[in-house]
Chain A
Amino acid sequence: MVSARGLTKRFGSSEAVAGIDFSIRRGEVFGFLGPNGAGKTSTMRMIACMSPASEGTLRVRGLDPSRDGPTIRAGLGVVPQQDTLDMELTVLDNLLVYGRYFDLSRRVVRERAERLLDFAQLSERAGSRVDDLSGGMRRRLTIARALISSPELVILDEPTTGLDPQARHLVWERLYRLRQEGVTLIVTTHYMDEAEQLCDRLVVMDKGTIVGEGSPRELVDKHVSREVLEVRLGEGGHERLAGDVRGRVERVEVLADRVCCYGDNGDEMLALVHGLGYQPENTLVRRGSLEDVFLRLTGRSLVE
């Protein structure tokens, strides 16, 4: 569906995307996971043919964005990071007018708009001004708008950033549904739970490069242990604890507010910490996650 080789984006002297390779298959949900400034949005904009690549080759639906921009965009749905809804139009008119940009007939657009308002649970608000919608509603309207051309590929740039948990789950549920209908989805996120929930495969991006690639499970298996023990000590002492357990667990990382110990069995690691005489303020045993993958690959945590 999408393939990139040596894809690069430069703004002046700074390199936002530094020669990345990836390929996205039809029907999958493909994620770009990384912190702000990793180059995710620049990559999305290049795939969406909204920004030319500085270097490298990119093919979207088999076509070259630099030559066939309008044709590619005709089969693409884009949900940008910031909702770019038309503030001068009502909810329904946003869909009707947007559909016309794709040169669809008024009849087709009206039919789809009604179906999509239903899909986005906004039928009651058809006549509302965009200003009067909540953040979650606007996001759903933006997603509905991206679907007006019945695209086979939808690009979502941080679809749930800024939404409350309930609104996020509703968005996720709608995205599952699209996936079931066979739509290919590309999602960027800096939330590891979102990446774990949604993505079949993903790449981990940092500073314009891809540092890891695979399914969420593969990435965790490859880079992180099965279980993780998080220890918070009351006053400092994190470095000393790390020194004491190092060599006796698979790996240990010291973060700003806690120590993470990696191993096959969290409870055994906890017993070890207690056995060394530490009285942690609190502890948590959990499974290894993409957050740990990111930490492992970049030495930094994902959300800073």
Chain B
Amino acid sequence: MVLGLALPSPRRARHVLGRNLVIYRRAWPLLATGVLEPLFYLLSIGLGLGHLVGRVDFAGHELAYKQFVAPALLAAAAMNGAILDTTYNLYYKLKIAKTYEGVLATPLSTADVALGEIGWAVARGAAYSATFLGVMAALGLVPSPWGLCCVPAAALVAYAFAATGMAATSYMRSWQDLDIVALALVPMFLFSATFYPLTAYVGWLAVVVQCTPLYQGVLLARSLDIGTVGWSLALNAAYLVVMGLAAMVITGRRLERLLAA
């Protein structure tokens, strides 16, 4: 027990991943979208728009625009995938199909369900970002061996957002409520120093941007990709870990209330 919550069992939780795998084995084109989304952005904005932009300064390095934007897209894709999985997909299973009510009659607990669904989102996020990183490497956009660490960084982003998405979804009462998620997500995607450097903002606005969760992910991915690695990155990672853990506690409580009252 931690904070009044039963701890999940990874052994039981893995069967939730197994269930999702059975579905996606039959619907694998759906999985491809997770890789295509950042790829389309990379082609249109990174390569296309990049011609007009020229070079961008990041941590003392002059980067080609596509080099600047590619790792940010990797982080943003991890966020979008995790949110999609834990909001719309989860809402359907939680409120519409009542999938979990059947699951909870088995040895699985609400904590196992939460861990399983978050684990699934992380596994998907990691698989997407590994594939996308391969594409980046083929385009010569992974200059440093540290770049390989972009995959665990993306998994961490997926973890933080999956847990948060799940916590938020547990409060949703209708499909309309889910639109609020888009309202928070789209600006974060556009303004978290994803497409232009932090220096574009006036002082206080730059501080606000540095506080957003996606900014941590973007900074991590970009620094690792080009190999400007320092201890300060541990702070960005810690931010995402804490965010994920806090959201998991909320999720655990909420699911217990919704499903096991």
Instruction: State the A residues within 8 Å of B (CB).
Output: 11, 48, 50-52, 69-71, 73-74, 76, 78, 80, 82, 84-89, 93, 96-98, 100-103, 145-146, 149
Contacts and interface: CB of A to CB of B under 8 A. Distances in A.
A103 B15 CA distance: 8
A101 B15 contact: yes
Please indicate which of the listed interface residues A73, A76, A82 has the most CB atoms of chain B within 10 Å of its own CB: A73
Q: Which of B22, B107, B109 has the most CB of A within 10 A?
A: B107
Q: A-B pairs with the 6 shortest C-beta distances?
A: A84-B102, A78-B105, A101-B106, A70-B107, A84-B101, A87-B97
B109 A86 contact: no
Nearest to A48: B105
A97 B18 contact: yes
A180 to B, nearest CB: 24
- Among the interface residues A70, A71, A80, A88, which one has the most CB atoms of the partner chain B within 10 A? A88
Interface string B87-108: 0000000000111011111111
Contacts of A103: 11-12, 15, 107
A238 to B, nearest CB: 44
Interface in B167-223: none
A167 B260 CA distance: 31
Contact of B107 (A71, A84, A146): A71
Interface of B: 9, 11-12, 15, 18-19, 22-23, 97-99, 101-109, 260-261
B98 A101 contact: no
B260 A80 contact: no
Nearest to B16: A101
B101 A80 contact: yes
Contact of A73 (B11, B23, B101, B105): B105
Instruction: Specify which of A71, A74, A103 lies most central, judged by the most chain B CB atoms within 10 Å of its CB.
Output: A103
Contact of A52 (B18, B97, B260): B260
B101 A101 contact: no
Contacts of A48: 105
Contact of B102 (A11, A76, A85): A85
Contact of B260 (A11, A50, A74): A50
A86 B108 contact: no
A102 B18 contact: no
Output the residue of A78, A93, A100 with the most chain B CB within 10 A. Answer: A100
Contact of A100 (B15, B23, B101, B261): B15
Nearest to B97: A87
B105 to A, nearest CB: 4
A146 to B, nearest CB: 8
B215 to A, nearest CB: 35
B99 A86 contact: yes
A80 B109 contact: no
Contacts of B18: 97, 100
Nearest to B14: A100
B107 A102 contact: yes
Nearest to A87: B97
Contacts of B103: 101
A199 B156 CA distance: 54
Contacts of A97: 15, 18-19, 22
Listed residue (B19, B101, B105) with the most chain A CB atoms within 10 angstroms of its CB: B105
B105 A76 contact: yes
Contacts of B106: 73-74, 98, 101-102, 149
A272 B102 CA distance: 56
Contacts of B19: 86, 89, 97, 100
B108 to A, nearest CB: 5
A48 B259 CA distance: 13
Contacts of B109: 69-70
A71 B12 CA distance: 12
A80 B105 contact: yes
Nearest to B19: A97
Contacts of B101: 80, 82, 84
A126 B98 CA distance: 22
A33 to B, nearest CB: 22
B259 to A, nearest CB: 8
Nearest to B256: A52
Nearest to B101: A84
A89 B22 contact: yes
A70 B260 CA distance: 13
B99 to A, nearest CB: 6
Given A50-B260, A73-B107, A84-B101, 12 more contacts: A50-B104, A50-B105, A78-B105, A82-B101, A86-B97, A88-B99, A89-B22, A97-B22, A98-B102, A98-B106, A101-B103, A103-B15
A140 B214 CA distance: 48
